Chain A
């Protein structure tokens, strides 16, 4: 149980284009999902908290107009990188909490999406 998927796994785009990344909880419902960014050989940095049916909460220094988050259902959150530039190239990873049976079982991470902006 507690499987989180992401799509696509890899994406290469030209500078100035927008890219959408999907995060799905496959076998549980997630009212809250999280988006992280990880640069090569570095740690994960929380970008934003995605709340189903409401606006996302962004961490300090993360541009909300550049990284659009939509959490339209209990199993899907999307991250759209708008007008991507080479410095946005990174590994984007989502996570979701499993509240099965009313108990938190921790955060489970997706496999990540490698974004390369040319």
Chain B
């Protein structure tokens, strides 16, 4: 049973556009939702994270939108740049701050075209 569903699997966006990646979760005990960026052959890098008590969090060009009732959250990358081309993973954990291991979505391969 996949606890975190991520879509789309791949995404192509023009430079300067908005990239949107969506995730849905099933476990209502999840309390922490981070997003990670991964380049080929590298470990994931934490981008931004949110807890269910807020509906939106913005850090630079990255914004998380969170809908607790729908059990969905999404990552928006504004003014997308070629350097943003990478695989993005949403994740979730039960314990506040991710004290337990993370459950990852399957990932989205993002390509930003110049």
Chain B residue nearest to A110 (CB atoms) is: B43
Interface residues on A, range: 20 to 34
Q: Once the chains bind, are A109 and B43 in contact (CB under 8 Å)?
A: yes
Asked if A97 and B89 make an inter-chain contact with CB atoms under 8 angstroms apart, the answer reads: no
Please give me the residue from chain B that is nearest to A46 by CB atom: B101
Q: How large is the interface on B (under 10, 10 to 19, 20 to 34, 35 or more residues)?
A: 20 to 34
B43 and A43 within 8 A (CB): no
Partner of A46, one of B36, B44, B103, B106: B103
Is B52 interfacial (CB 8 A cutoff)? no
Question: How does the 8 Å CB contact mask read for B8-44 relative to A, with 1 for contact and 0 for none?
Answer: 0000000000000000000000000010100001111
User: What residue in chain B is nearest A35 (Cβ atoms)?
Assistant: B101
Contacts of A107 in B (CB 8 A): 34, 46, 98, 102
A104 to B31, CA, bound (A): 13
In the complex, A89→B43 CA distance in Å? 17
B101 touches A97 (CB 8 A): no
Checking B43, B102, B104 against A112 with a beta-carbon cut-off of 8 angstroms, the contacting residue is B43
Contacts of B59 in A (CB 8 A): none
Q: Is the contact region of chain A dominated by helix, strand, or loop, or is it mixed?
A: strand
Q: How far is the CA of A59 from the CA of B98 in the complex (A)?
A: 16
Would you call B45 an interface residue if the criterion is a C-beta within 8 Å of the partner chain's C-beta atoms? yes
**Which of A49, A110, A114 is close to B100, meaning CB atoms less than 8 Å apart?**
A49
- Residue A108, interface by CB 8 Å: yes
B49 contacts partner chain A, Cβ-Cβ < 8 Å: yes
Complex CA–CA separation, A110 to B49 (angstroms): 18
Q: Which of A32, A45, A93, A106 has the largest number of chain B CB atoms within 10 A?
A: A106
Measured CB to CB, the residues of A under 8 A from B are 4, 6, 32, 34, 36, 42-46, 49, 59, 93, 95, 97, 103-112, 114
